Amino acid sequence: MSSNPIPAAEQAQLDQLKSLVADCIQETRNQGATGAEVGVSMESGLSATARLGEVETIEHHRSRGLGLTVYIGQRKGSASTSDLSPAAMRETVAAACRIARHAAEDPCAGLPDAGLLATEFPDLDLYYPWAIEPEAAIELAVACENAARNHHADISNSEGASLNTFEGLRVMGNSLGFLHGYASSRHSLSVSVIGERDQQMQRDDWWTVARDARDLQSPEEVGRIAAERTIRRLGARSLSTRQCPVIFASDVAASLLGHFIGAIRGGNLYRKSSFLLDQLGKPVFPDFVQIHEQPHLKKALGSVPYDAEGVRTVPHHLVRNGILESYVLSTYSARKLGMTSTGNAGGVHNLIIDPGTLDQAGLLQKMGTGLLVTELMGQGVNLVTGDYSRGAAGFWVENGTIQYPVEEFTIAGNLRDMLKTLVAVGNDVDLRGNTRTGSIMLEQLTIAGN
C-alpha cells in the first residue's frame, strides 16, 4: 500500500496512457513490425526566478511525447512525436517502420529477454505533486536570495534564486507483454551570490532537491549556506606546482564515481574505449571500497522499478572489497559483450559508495597537508587512457586545518591510479543526487599552478 497514493485524476490519466501504449503496440504489428517498445510521458511544472528581490521569470511547463522503437527482424527504426492523437500515432509508427526497412541487420538488435522484464513493481514513493502558486514560489525564491544577500556585508551581488517544480506520468510497454506506468515528482530551490573584498570577486551557490517539497531545506538555510560558501572563497590565492594528497568534497566527489561508471559502461567496453577493459573480477579499488546500486530506495532521486527498457532493477554490487563485480549494461551492450543486461539501460540508479567513519574535518586531519577541492571546471578526462586533468578551486590545508582558499590551478593524474590509491571515503554523504558519496581522499595528484 502506497504511503502517498496517486490521486484518482492522475490514475485515470495513467490508465489512458496505458491504453495509448497498448494501441500503439498493436499498430506496430498491423504495419509489419515483429517487435516494438513504446514510451509515452506527460510532464508539467513551474519555474520561478527572482534576482535582487524582483521577479525575473515565471514559466509554466507542459509537455507530452511518445517515442517508439520497432524491429523488423533485426532491423531497427525509431521515431517520436509530441502529438498523441491516433492519426499522429499511426504516422509515427509508419515512420519508424520505414526507417527499420532501410536499416542494416544487426544481430544484437531486439527487445530484452522476456525473462528479464519487471513483473513486480514495488511502491517507491516517488510522487508528491506541489500545487504552489506563482506568487508563493516567488516569495520563497526572494526569501532564499535575501537570506544569502543579508548574511554578510561582503555579499555584493546576486545571480538570482530559482524554485522549480516538476511532476510527470510515464508509461512504457513492449510487444512481449510488458506494460506499466508510474508518476514521479521532483522539486528544487537554488541560489547563487557574488562576494567582493579588496577588489576580488567570488561566486558560489547552494541548492536543495527532493521528491517531496516538505523535504527541501528551508529558503533561509539554502541562502545562508550559499553565502557562507561564497565568503570563504574570498582572498583566494594561486598555488605553485606540486604533488600532494587531495580530498574531493562530497558535492564534487560524485564526478569521480561518474568517470568510473563511464569506464564500466557497456557501450565504452564493446567499443574498447575504456581504461577498465577486461577488469571484471579484478581489483580496481582498495579492498575497503564497496560500491553498489540501490534502485528501490523510497523517495530517492534515482529510484526506478525498471530501466529504460523495462528490465527489472535489483540492488547489486558493482565493486565488492575493491573488486569489480559487474559492468553497467543495457540489452544491446550486453549482447555485444556476450553477457546479460544488468538493468542499466538509461544509467545507474542510486549509486552508493559505502562511507567510512570520518567526517570531512576528520579527513582533513587524516590528510594533514594537502588540497581540499570544492569546485571542478572543464572536461579534461580521457576514458580510453584514464588521463585526468581538470581546472579546480578549493582550499589549502596544513596540519589538518584549512589555511586559505586557492584557485586557478589544474589537478592531474590517471583515473586507474586514482581509483587504486583512494585513501578514505567520508561519512558526510551528499544525498542530493543519483550518486551518494561522502568526501573522497586520494593519496596524491599533481597540482599544476604557477
The amino acid that residue 263 corresponds to is: A
Residue linked to cell 529510484: 303
Q: Are residues 151 and 181 in the same domain?
A: yes
CA-based nearest residue to 413, from 266, 245, 301 = 245
Nine-digit cell string for 398: 596544513
Residues 6+ apart with CB under 8 A from 83: none
Residue 50 pLDDT class (50, 70, 90 cuts): very high
pLDDT digits (tens, 9 = 90+) for 72-123: 999 999 999 999 999 999 999 999 999 999 999 999 999 999 999 999 999 9
Return the pLDDT at 254.
Answer: 96
C-alpha span between 259 and 414 (Å, rounded): 11
Strands 440-448 and 242-248: antiparallel
Overall domain count for the chain: 2
Kindly state whether residue 347 falls inside one of the protein's structural domains. Answer: yes
98 and 156, same domain (yes or no): yes
Asked if 302 and 434 touch (Cβ cutoff 8 Å), the reply is: yes
Q: What is the pLDDT of residues 294-337, one digit of tens each?
A: 999 999 999 999 999 999 999 999 999 999 999 999 999 999 99
Q: Are residue 247 and residue 142 in the same domain, yes or no?
A: no
* Cβ atoms of 310 and 37 closer than 8 Å: yes
Percent of the chain with pLDDT over 70: 99
Residues 159-206: pLDDT tens digits?
999 999 999 999 999 999 999 999 999 999 999 999 999 989 999 999
Three-state secondary-structure class, residue 450? coil
Is residue 310 situated within a structural domain?
Answer: yes
- Cell 582550499 locates to 395
Task: Give the pLDDT band (50/70/90) at residue 1.
Answer: very low
Q: Cell triple for residue 183?
A: 508518476
Do 153 and 247 reside in the same domain of the chain? no
Per DSSP, the residues of 107-174 read TT-SPPPGGGB----------------HHHHHHHHHHHHHHHHTS-TTEEEEEEEEEEEEEEEEEEEE
Burial of 370 (0-12, 13-18, 19+ CB in 10 A): buried
Q: Which of 175, 199, 231 is the last residue of a domain?
A: 231
The CA distance from 356 to 359, in Å, is 8
Q: What is the DSSP string of 55-83?
A: EEEEEEEEEEEEEEEEEETTEEEEEEES-
- Look at residue 371 and tell me if it is in a domain: yes
Q: Are residues 282 and 227 in the same domain?
A: no
Which grid coordinates belong to 256?
A: 569521480
Inside any domain, residue 2: no
Residues 214 and 259 in one domain: no
Same domain flag for 146 and 275:
no
> For position 2, what pLDDT does the model report?
47
148 and 260 inside one domain = no
**pLDDT tens-digit series, residues 11-25:** 999 999 999 999 999
- In the predicted structure, residue 57 carries a pLDDT above the cut 50: yes
Of 173, 196, 231, the residue at which a domain comes to its end is 231
DSSP string, 188-242: EEEEEEEEEETTEEEEEEEEEEESSGGGSPPHHHHHHHHHHHHHTTTT-B---SE
- Would you say residue 3 has pLDDT above 80? no
What is the DSSP code (8-state) at residue 398? Answer: E
Q: What is the pLDDT of residue 334?
A: 98
Q: SS3 for 270? A: helix
Three-state DSSP class for residue 46: strand
* Whole-number Å distance between alpha carbons of 170 and 180: 8
**CA–CA distances in Å: residue 119 to residues 122, 162, 305, 306, 448:** 10, 39, 10, 9, 53
In the structure grid, which three cell numbers stand for residue 287, read together? 579492498
Cell of 338: 556476450
Mean per-residue pLDDT over the chain, rounded: 96
Q: Measured between alpha carbons, how far is 129 from 7 in angstroms, rounded to an integer?
A: 10
Strands (E), 93-225: 155-174, 179-197, 200-210
Rounded to the nearest 10 degrees, what angle do helices 8-30 and 86-102 cross at? 40
How confident is the model at residue 5, as a pLDDT?
Answer: 78
Give the C-alpha separation, 333 to 108, whole Å. Answer: 8
pLDDT band at 46 (very low <50, low <70, confident <90, very high): very high
Tell me the CATH number at 27. Answer: 3.30.2290.10
Determine contact, residues 154/196, Cβ cutoff 8 Å: yes
CB-based contact 326:318 (threshold 8 Å): yes
Residue 375 to residue 398: CA distance in whole angstroms: 19
Shared domain for 270 and 318, answered yes or no, is yes
Domain final residue, candidates 171, 203, 231 = 231
The answer to the question of residue 3 being in a domain is: no
Across 123-147, average pLDDT: 97
Q: Does any domain span residue 22?
A: yes
Give the structural domain span for 254. 242-448
pLDDT in tens, 374-391: 999 988 899 999 999 999
Q: What is the pLDDT of residue 126?
A: 97
Pair (69, 91) in one structural domain:
yes
pLDDT per position as a tens digit, 422-431: 999 999 999 9
Q: Tell me if 346 is assigned to some domain.
A: yes
Helical axes 134-149 vs 219-231, angle rounded to 10°: 30
Q: Is residue 236 part of a domain?
A: no
Of all residues in the chain, what percent are helix, strand and coil, respectively (each to 5)?
A: 25, 40, 35
Q: Mind listing the pLDDT tens digit for each residue in 332-370? A: 999 999 999 999 999 999 999 999 999 999 999 999 999
Cα–Cα nearest to 356, from 250, 209, 246: 250
Name the grid cell of 350: 542510486
- Shared domain for 41 and 189, answered yes or no, is yes
Output phi, psi for 284, to 5 deg.
Answer: -120, -10
**Per-residue pLDDT at 336:** 98
C-beta of residue 368 within 8 angstroms of C-beta of residue 400: yes
Whether residue 262 sits in one domain with residue 392:
yes
Can you tell me the mean pLDDT for 221-237? 97
Q: Residue 410 corresponds to which cell in the numbers above? A: 589544474
